[in-house]
Amino acid sequence: MDIASKKELALVFLNDLSKMQPNRLQQIIGETVGEELATIMFGYAKQVMNADPAKQMENASSLMILGYLIRVHEESGLPPQIPTA
């Protein structure tokens, strides 16, 4: 999947998410993330957001990226580490 496809897919998903009924979102979270992992992520997000309230937008974006990286890691798709000189 190229960058444009990832962008398009993300935009479609975020648009769908904004229109989604809360009970449907809870169902998706429960079935795909699980309550235990959701609780861990909520606690981490709370910690990050409270660490520097002046940077909440940056922190929210970072949390979204981190969530994406967790998913990529679950699928064993992280790129190999580049050795340093």
pLDDT recorded at residue 19: 96
Unique residue bearing structure tokens 């990050």: 48
Pairwise CA distance, residues 13 & 19, whole Å = 10
Query: In the chain, how many domains are there?
Result: 1
What confidence tens digit (pLDDT) does each residue in 54-65 have? 998 999 999 999
**Residue 18: inside a domain, yes or no?**
no
**Residue 66: inside a domain, yes or no?**
yes
Residue 38 CB coordination number (10 Å): 14
**Residue 44: inside a domain, yes or no?**
yes
Pairwise CA distance, residues 12 & 27, whole Å = 19
Dihedral (Cα; 63, 64, 66, 71), 10-degree rounding: 140
Whether the CB-CB separation of 48 and 66 falls below 8 Å is answered with no
Range of the domain at 39: 34-75
pLDDT recorded at residue 2: 59
pLDDT recorded at residue 9: 86
**Residue 9: inside a domain, yes or no?**
no
**Residue 29: inside a domain, yes or no?**
no
**Residue 47: inside a domain, yes or no?**
yes
Question: From the first residue on, what is the mean pLDDT of each consecutive set of 10 residues in the chain (85 residues)?
Answer: 76 92 92 91 92 90 90 84 78
pTM of the entire structure? 0.68
**Residue 68: inside a domain, yes or no?**
yes
**Residue 71: inside a domain, yes or no?**
yes
State the angle between helix axes of 35-51 and 56-74 in degrees (0 to 180), rounded to the nearest 10: 150
